[in-house]
Amino acid sequence: MPRRAPWRRLLWLGLGGLLIFGSGLWSVPPATATAGGVSLPGHVLPILGSATRVGDLAPDQTLTLTIALRPGAAEALRRSARQPHSSPVVRPGAVGAEALGRAYGQSAVAIARLADYLRGFGLVVSSPGPSRLSLTARGTADQIQRALGVHLGWYTDQQGRRFRATDTDPRLPADLAPLVEAIIGLDTYPVWYPLHTPPRPAPPPVRRPGALQPQASRTVFPPYKPDDLETAYNFSPLNAAGLDGRGVTIGILGCDVVSPSDLTTFAATFQRPAPAVQTVPVDGGADGGSAEKPPNPEATLDLEWAGAIAPGATLRLYSFPSEGEGCSTIGFYDALIAAIDENASDILSISLGACETALGSALIQAFEDVFAAAALEGQTVLVASGDLGAYSCYPSLTPAVDYPAASAYVTAVGGTTLVVGPDGSYQSESAWGSVTACLTPCGSGGGISAMIPPPSWQEALLTGGRGVPDVAYDADPTTGFYYFFNGSWMSAGGTSFGAPQWAALIARADQAADRRLGFLDPLLYGAVARAGGPTPPFHDITTGSNLLYAAAPGWDLATGWGSPDAAVLVQALAAAGMPPTPSASPVPTATAPAGSGPVRVFLPVIFNGRPGPGG
């Protein structure tokens, strides 16, 4: 029998190998498959140098990873997201997740190559969502270590917390590494924490028939109620104009569950309608009322206050699991991806944060890409700036900021000490900072980012890094806020209360504009900051400090532009965010009820020839 020509024999073997691979029967690649690959830096936790390795993972332990994909047109995505109001082509809300994926994501062919590589090691890989920003891969510790060239182990930190981590950066073949921004889930270190101060029990709000009983003083315990904030920050003209957030959806990102009865009790006590809450479980995050996990106080207070200040809005909870004492990193990222892919929330409120320098650079860049995508979709993102003043990495006394408040694509909400009169009217406000009011030094998170460069709208204000915060809201626990949790009335402070209330304010502004306003910072630092008239859109806070940075006229690193004059700000935002060729004309002024504090002018605007809600 004649022998086959050598080239025909090689071709036959190659085709056979391809057929076996395609059938899923190809054997697991050797452990040296990634030895010559490209390292993906930024995955080794900064905390690992002071932690103790206590053991290896069991080879058969099953892990789930999220592969954060680098956008195929990453720079174009980031550039477009930073300028969402500059062109009618990228008006906020005009870009959906599928269009986003096609325009900026990796190609389907490139994603398939990466997925096939991982499947070759036995991992189960999901299909990407419409935004093409991530894949999910599931497999054993042994499969993951061989596929990525990592060395996983169990560690304990100096506080005795046990966590999983890798002591080596992952590696991928040279043609696949450029597709990946980060691999999330290699570690379980608890870095994300809720941004409210330790709660204390509070007496039930005092009521008289038909109304809440006014307090003689608002500078001490008991805490503030929704009516107090609405009066002090001038929401009353918005109420009179029918601007309550109707038709707008606020997404709350929080771990674990809430008790529906807590939400309805809070709303009923303060004469608000029961909030319409939709729950989106992410990565095993449970739906409301699960017996497996107790209610989460952060998610509870976020929903209660967002619903109280925008009672007409729909609330959407992206519920993901907790991780030790904090919230899951992979859950947080996947919840953001869910919010981008479904594009159902007009506004996202985040009251979680982490010491910026405790996060790897790869993880931060992966989050930055998702926040850029949110901006391009027209989703406004409000983030609490933190409660440790200028020292977000406390007990380190090196000045630092929280992430994601430091993201270049979000609006960071700092904290103040608000003083109101007996009738709830605005009296004064200072930057929040104290060494006695909390268990640790506390105050408005603020300072200069070590990881994120200053965006263009801040370049004239500072150098070195992105400045935090952008705006402010009452946060001082000395007064505190009511919230109802696990069947009891509680009081707490913190920037956690400001982020959802700012989200509620923007819901009213979206309603007034009859469209998504989208990423706020280009507006806040541009047309809104320059808005003229007898009443400015912000209370410019010029006293107090966040334990390092002093409040000062104009924008500062303790309170940003200041706290809102809600009615004036809504009008300024609606006017600043109008399409390029608008027609605008005033309609009759709505005024606040007598005795509710100073009345400020609110003129709803005509959008494209038709009145906005309330006009």
pLDDT in tens, 255-284: 888 999 999 999 999 999 998 899 999 998
User: Which CA distances in Å does 224 have to 23, 103, 296, 546?
Assistant: 64, 47, 21, 21
Residue 577, pLDDT score = 61
Q: DSSP states of 542-574 as a string?
A: -SBBSSSSBP-SSSBTTTBT-EE-HHHHHHHHH
Amino acid 383 reads V
Residue 182, pLDDT score = 97
pLDDT per position as a tens digit, 22-52: 333 333 344 445 556 899 999 999 899 999 9
Which residues, including other chains, have CB under 8 Å from residue 287's CB and lie 6 or more apart? 257, 279, 281, 319
Cα 155 from chain centre: 28
Q: State both tokens at 126.
A: 């999901």
Cis amide bond preceding 222, omega within 30: yes
Percent pLDDT > 70 in the chain is 82
Q: What is the DSSP pairing of strand 347-350 with strand 380-384?
A: parallel
Which is nearest to 356 in space by CA: 450, 470, 220?
Answer: 450
Percent pLDDT > 90 in the chain is 68
Residue 381 has pLDDT above 60, yes or no: yes
- Please compute the mean of the pLDDT values over residues 528-556 and round it to a whole number: 92
Residue 34, pLDDT score = 53
Residue 598 has pLDDT above 90, yes or no: no
pLDDT per position as a tens digit, 121-145: 999 999 999 999 999 999 999 999 9
Residue showing tokens 């981008």:
340
Alpha-carbon distance of 76 to 82, in angstroms, equals: 10
Residue 587, pLDDT score = 26
Which is nearest to 99 in space by CA: 66, 126, 77?
Answer: 77
| Average pLDDT of every residue of the chain | 84
Residue showing tokens 């570690």:
187
DSSP state of 40: -
Residue 428, pLDDT score = 94
pLDDT per position as a tens digit, 198-252: 888 888 886 533 333 434 444 433 599 999 999 999 999 999 999 999 999 999 9
Quick check: helix, strand or coil at residue 100?
A: helix
Residue 613 has pLDDT above 80, yes or no: no
Residue 16 has pLDDT above 90, yes or no: no
Residue of higher predicted confidence among 607 and 408: 408
For the ranges 24-33, 319-328, 422-431, 489-498, the one whose mean pLDDT is highest? 489-498
Alpha-carbon distance of 464 to 453, in angstroms, equals: 7
Residue 585, pLDDT score = 29
Residue showing tokens 């870095």:
191
Residue 218, pLDDT score = 40
